[in-house]
Amino acid sequence: MRGRILDAARNLFASEGYDAVTLRKVADSIEYCPATIYKYFKDKEEMVRALVEDDIAMTMEAFLPSLEHQAPLDRLRGICTTFLKMGLEQPNHYRLMYMTPLLPGHDPVFVNKRSDPQTDSYGLSLSIVQQCIDAKVFRPELTDAHLITQTFWAGVHGVISLHIACGNIPVYEWRPVFERGVFMLELMISRMLRTPSAALPAVSSTPESAAATPA
Amino acid sequence: MRGRILDAARNLFASEGYDAVTLRKVADSIEYCPATIYKYFKDKEEMVRALVEDDIAMTMEAFLPSLEHQAPLDRLRGICTTFLKMGLEQPNHYRLMYMTPLLPGHDPVFVNKRSDPQTDSYGLSLSIVQQCIDAKVFRPELTDAHLITQTFWAGVHGVISLHIACGNIPVYEWRPVFERGVFMLELMISRMLRTPSAALPAVSSTPESAAATPA
DNA sequence: CGACACTATAAACAGTGTTTACTAGAGTGA
DNA sequence: TCACTCTAGTAAACACTGTTTATAGTGTCG
């Protein structure tokens, strides 16, 4: 039953976007009374958080193929580009997960799922970064796995979130956003590498087509 | 009169935060009827946009000292760190300006103010990056000023916005956010430099105090 | 003075999230 | 079988949003 409510919410969310997820619309689309939802969720926030947790689980699944690579650096590349793709393809979900300061952070249930490489993407990234450090991939002075993880995350997140928030302002002649994400990633990686890297990836200087973010 | 409304909105916004800016509260705090606001603003959105435009102007003023530096690279460093500081000190304004995909982008008045180094921070950054390119500061293959500007912007924005959205999740052992911003900036700069740079800045590995984002 | 323009308002409308009081029904135990 | 409880679902209301309409004031100008 919770599942049916969440399905309806998910559909509404994916089809009509961010602000369309209203309790009444969810209730209507499942042909129930708005108050019924409160039998299964304490809050609207709790309902939304259930959605987010599902999305987190999906993200973790999407990371799995990247873990097959032998070289830890390739694993790092893999999850970063996967994260980038996911954020660009599902901006609504991304916005909810990483651009909305709602999740109180002090919620014990929510917090316990974090920092675990199995269920949390930060924990997973952290462990891969640590593997890179152990494999002496990075320069010797770069020893703080948290700092490195947070920097990679911020870099990729910056490209995604800036695109979601400002990507539809045409006077900024935006370069293609995915290429920009890869450029950012390789920029960071290559500066951190112990053995100097090859050239940075090329980025097309044709401004991105206007079909960037379809609201 | 528009000014008085905006002042009230600004106070409300700064003191009670993002969601507290409601037309009725603004009207109450200035002791007018809610409908009166519609005499001076077509929308709530137009009122909010007026706030944002003021903030943009303030941002531009904050950039002025950075333009005094002789070396173009120092100018670039200056505006980036200023941007970083501003975003961290006024997260509410930052969120409104750069994390809310509201501004339709097709508004002609709004668009005309963009891309001008005098009134738009992107235009200003772009011109400084171009000066760096002309001064042969960057590696010869880095010729696309837009790409470079967008990359710097994304990097700094990533640190700020990630901190605003997720900085209150304690299990991520966040390193001090300002130091992380400078680290990100120098990471990007040093990889782009034609003449190799010195070491990256040190970042304290003490997790940031819990007083990060006071809601 | 009379006509006009303009300001501010009260009241309502449609839409939120949320709560309360209530009903119909399904079980369960005696 | 009969009462009993417990629960899923509901209608109606409440307190809020942003927004609109019709109306009462208030000044200015001819």
For residue B53, the model assigns a pLDDT of 87
Q: Count Cβ atoms below 10 Å from residue B73 Cβ, excluding itself.
A: 18
Q: Which among A122, A184, A190 is the nearest to B151, CB-wise?
A: A184
Distance from CA of B31 to the nearest CA of A (A): 31
The β-bridge partners of B138 are: B193
Are B146 and A205 spatial neighbours (Cβ–Cβ below 8 Å)? Answer: yes
User: Rg for chain B (alpha carbons), in Å?
Assistant: 19
Give the C-alpha separation, A62 to A48, whole Å.
Answer: 21
Question: What residues of chain A lie within 8 A of the CB of B100, using their CB?
Answer: 165
Q: What is the pLDDT of residues A175-211, one digit of tens each?
A: 999 999 999 999 999 999 998 877 899 999 888 864 4
Nucleotides of C under 7 A from a protein CB: 7-12, 15-21
pLDDT (tens digit, 9 = 90+) per residue, A59-90? 999 999 999 999 999 999 999 999 999 999 99
Q: What is the pLDDT of residues B149-184, one digit of tens each?
A: 999 999 999 999 999 999 988 888 999 999 999 999
Our measurement of CA A32 to C1' D1, in angstroms, reads: 34
Whether the pLDDT of residue B17 is over 90: the answer is: no
pLDDT, one tens digit per residue, over A41-66 is: 998 999 998 998 888 899 999 999 99
CB < 8 Å to A162, chain B = 98, 150, 153-154, 157-158, 161
Best mutation target among A151, A160, A185 (most B Cβ atoms within 10 Å) is: A151
B contacts of A183 (beta carbons < 8 Å): 147, 151
Per-residue burial over A25-63, b if 16 or more Cβ lie within 10 Å, else e, is ebbeebebeeeebeeebeeeeebbbbbbbebbeebbeeb
Interface touch A175/B199, C-beta < 8 Å: no
Taking CB atoms and an 8 Å limit, are B111 and A203 in contact across chains?
no
Mean pLDDT in residue range A8-14 = 90
A126 pLDDT above the threshold of 90: yes
Interface test with A, best of B150, B159, B175 (most A CBs within 10 A): B150
Q: How confident is the model at residue A170 (pLDDT cuts 50, 70, 90)?
A: confident
- Tell me the nearest-neighbour CA distance from B1 into chain A, angstroms: 30
Mean pLDDT of chain A: 89
Whether pLDDT at A106 is above 60: no
> With 80 as the cut, is the pLDDT of residue A212 above it?
no
Q: How far is B70 from chain A (nearest CA, A)?
A: 26
Q: Mark the nucleotides of strand D covered by protein, meaning any atom under 7 Å from a CB.
A: 8-13, 16-22
**A137 pLDDT above the threshold of 80:** yes
Residue B4 token pair? 């008085």
Could A150 and B174 be called an inter-chain contact, meaning their C-beta atoms sit closer than 8 Å? yes
pLDDT band at A104 (very low <50, low <70, confident <90, very high): low
Domains, chain A: 1-41 (1.10.10.60), 45-192 (1.10.357.10)
